[in-house]
A and B are shown apart, each in its own frame.
Chain A
């Protein structure tokens, strides 16, 4: 019996995803847990591990929106079964096979020959010899990124050999020497996966909201002392409490006091949320991810700290699920580790505010005519001015500043 390849439900909120790539050619042997395909929800890219071993028969084309639990392909036990499956359901267009080196016992080439060619017309026709096309398909090369050296810029065997040996570059370097005004990219990376999601979200945010950023500075002396005390207390059993955990707790309390900051504009309606779910921006290595800490106003700093550690670990291992990233109401982003003081964070749409945390730095402060050194923390708050005016935004930031300057008030 053939195995079904099924789109999993990666979390409560997930209903559909887009099938981005098949990593194997039709008829190719796939092993258990091989990443057989990639789907993308509006939040994450996910490599689906193969449910078993078999010859691939994809039935859903790349670029298709698929539902949770939908069968998108089969793994045939043997060639006979594969043929039976192919007779029942036509093989879907798999596009360029990426990243996977074909195996010696692959039946892909003969299967491909049998398949009537679907002429996929690109808006920009790429001229390449039949051999060059066959080689590119086999090695997963994108012809649009290869410079052709044949007649009329036709891509020929020599160009593929070159690309396989030296990688893909966009334009011949010599041009740059000929004309200093011609820019030549050293590499061209298509915007896809997580980068595409980030690009879309950021542009959506700035193109729909009216964003205003407010800056302030808080004394960090008590914050530093408080964290020191907590970490001495948890020295043996952990966790190691981060500034982020304390600031997140402070923001949660501030949101309780300023519920208008915990809201979204939905069409003509401002929705103020019952829940407080604060996202913490993280660099996953591939790009920005914002996992959520849920109801931090009801949790202790110790628990919050543990949750942040867990999320950080999963982000690093690329194990975050769509639910981890869903349903945020506010976001914190901390660029302090890179010596940033103030910046203008971009609101994580459809939220309405984001707090940018800068570094803690010792500075000279003057109070009552007396100068003295003090640890200071930079804070930047971006608000959507369509629904939050400057004064309420500033009042919210002042509340955060007060909590940071005296974390004992968090007990209020």
Chain B
């Protein structure tokens, strides 16, 4: 094979975007994937989990609709749901391969590794290349406590492989994925417990929003423990006994399954030492410490955001081929597919204060939103964080139905360095849930229209 311009190791969201951007820039590109085209996102995370959680959401929607007539609520049938979920993932995975092929990218299946400067090997095949982008993702890390490797303690991918839903589940951590899965289990008639080490769920997110979400969803049979720490696991009558401390008080709970989400960058078997690297720390251009070697996505230690991985892939490809691109990491959105959804971009109120801004905030409660009332989902709030001097929008935080869609406007606002006035002047259609964003911006300037008083 003649020397290539770019070899991408890993066919997940970061790698696919990098490879395609590379060909757009005229490069000869090969991409190496060991098993799952489309990566964790498409096969074992974002896509399949959204398939099952949105099914659960639609059920809830139907339940709300029953208030208008006499229907019988359908029950959720996991085996059928699982079958369709797998079909969808397979469809997209095939589609990814087809997309890459249609761009003239060479697809190679196997484990790619660096083999000295300018060289990558897959099995016996050696490929010469001008640059390499590593996008090989991360690997599961079982809970580092006694009994952490017992049967019945499974990761989220293993959970998605089995359509026999456990009756009682303990989820480790209070992040967005845990909460989404816990709500799904409860809708499917199961019991879920969420154990979060920090003072509240969604640590590092806007505190007020996280507290409001907790107040909404922390209802039997979904139990949330804050300040909860796992101490160890034991087998007990075919079940798992989890020893935990909650606010330093020892207790235990017995469940059918424990689900963990811990992952760590998979740095072994990448041949890093052959180019003098011991880690894949990257700069703002996604460049590693080795010339011509770039890295993107989970393998760099970022927190598992598919949209960030894709953006990094595009950025890395441009830089690998001689460009000067860097990402605005201040405008990376976070999303939780809970019910109601949470979406967030930029600084929280307390983060902005810590950075020394003269902070002003504005809120619009969904209790005043006609569309939220119409659809029976008026639990929620839109919050805007800004600084006083210029009115620059620093953060947008949304707890609302379709928050993950509405946040796009907030991302654009931050990316374009919008001010509160810009948000106030933007016409958002009525009636929508999104119009609360404008109202929140007006509130920050003490100009809210639809707030009493």
Contacts and interface: CB of A to CB of B under 8 A. Distances in A.
Given A129-B417, A156-B417, A134 B390 contact: yes
B421 A138 contact: no
B112 interface: no
For chain B, give the interface size range. 10 to 19
Given A130-B421, A130-B422, A138 B390 contact: yes
Given A113-B445, A129-B416, A135 B421 contact: no
Contacts of B416: 129-130
Choose among B390, B392, B417, B445 the residue with the greatest number of A CB atoms under 10 Å from its CB: B417
A130 B445 contact: no
Interface in A111-135: 113, 129-132, 134-135
B444 to A, nearest CB: 12
A401 interface: no
B278 to A, nearest CB: 32
Contacts of B419: 130-131, 134
Choose among A130, A131, A135, A157 the residue with the greatest number of B CB atoms under 10 Å from its CB: A130
Contacts of A138: 389-390
A84 B417 CA distance: 34
B421 A131 contact: no
Interface residues of A, number: 10
A113 B388 CA distance: 13
Contacts of B81: none
A135 B389 CA distance: 9
A129 B413 CA distance: 10
B391 interface: yes
Nearest to B391: A134
Contacts of B422: 130
B392 A131 contact: yes
A161 B416 CA distance: 16
A157 B394 CA distance: 13
A159 to B, nearest CB: 11
Interface in B379-394: 389-392
A134 to B, nearest CB: 4
Contacts of B390: 131, 134-135, 138
A157 B421 CA distance: 17
A217 to B, nearest CB: 63
Given A130-B422, A131-B392, A134-B390, A157 B417 contact: yes
Contacts of B421: 113, 130
B332 interface: no
Contacts of A113: 391, 421, 445
Interface string B405-434: 000000000001111011000000000000
A185 to B, nearest CB: 23
B255 to A, nearest CB: 50
Nearest to B393: A131
A396 B419 CA distance: 69
A105 to B, nearest CB: 15
A100 to B, nearest CB: 17
Nearest to A112: B421
A113 B422 CA distance: 11
B417 A132 contact: yes
B418 A131 contact: yes
Nearest to B419: A130
B417 A131 contact: yes
A129 B415 CA distance: 9
B352 to A, nearest CB: 15
Contacts of A134: 390-392, 419
Contacts of A131: 390, 392, 417-419
Nearest to B423: A130
Interface string A128-148: 011110110010000000000
Interface string B211-223: 0000000000000
Nearest to A133: B419
Interface string B365-400: 000000000000000000000000111100000000
A134 B445 CA distance: 16
Contacts of A132: 417
Contacts of B418: 129-131
A132 B418 CA distance: 9
A135 B421 CA distance: 14
Nearest to B421: A113
B424 to A, nearest CB: 9
A178 to B, nearest CB: 13
Contacts of B445: 113
A116 to B, nearest CB: 10
Interface string B435-450: 0000000000100000
Interface in A344-391: none
A129 B391 CA distance: 13
Contacts of B391: 113, 134
A156 B389 CA distance: 16
A257 to B, nearest CB: 69
A113 B389 CA distance: 12
Nearest to A113: B421
Nearest to A128: B417
Nearest to B392: A131
A113 B416 CA distance: 19
A188 B297 CA distance: 44
Nearest to A135: B390
Contacts of A157: 392, 417
B325 to A, nearest CB: 10
Interface string B200-233: 0000000000000000000000000000000000
A132 B391 CA distance: 11
B209 to A, nearest CB: 24
A122 B110 CA distance: 58
Contacts of A129: 416-418
A236 B168 CA distance: 112
Contacts of A130: 416-419, 421-422
A140 to B, nearest CB: 14
Choose among A113, A132, A138, A157 the residue with the greatest number of B CB atoms under 10 Å from its CB: A113
A138 B419 CA distance: 14
B384 to A, nearest CB: 15
Choose among B390, B416, B445 the residue with the greatest number of A CB atoms under 10 Å from its CB: B390
Nearest to B387: A131
B105 to A, nearest CB: 26
A50 to B, nearest CB: 26
Nearest to B420: A113
A135 B422 CA distance: 15
Which 5 A-B pairs rank lowest in CB-CB distance, beginning with the nearest? A129-B417, A131-B417, A134-B390, A130-B419, A131-B392
27 contacts: A113-B391, A113-B421, A113-B445, A129-B416, A129-B417, A129-B418, A130-B416, A130-B417, A130-B418, A130-B419, A130-B421, A130-B422, A131-B390, A131-B392, A131-B417, A131-B418, A131-B419, A132-B417, A134-B391, A134-B392, A134-B419, A135-B390, A138-B389, A138-B390, A156-B417, A157-B392, A157-B417
Given A129-B416, A130-B417, A131-B390, 11 more contacts: A113-B391, A113-B445, A129-B417, A130-B419, A130-B421, A131-B418, A134-B390, A134-B391, A138-B389, A138-B390, A157-B417
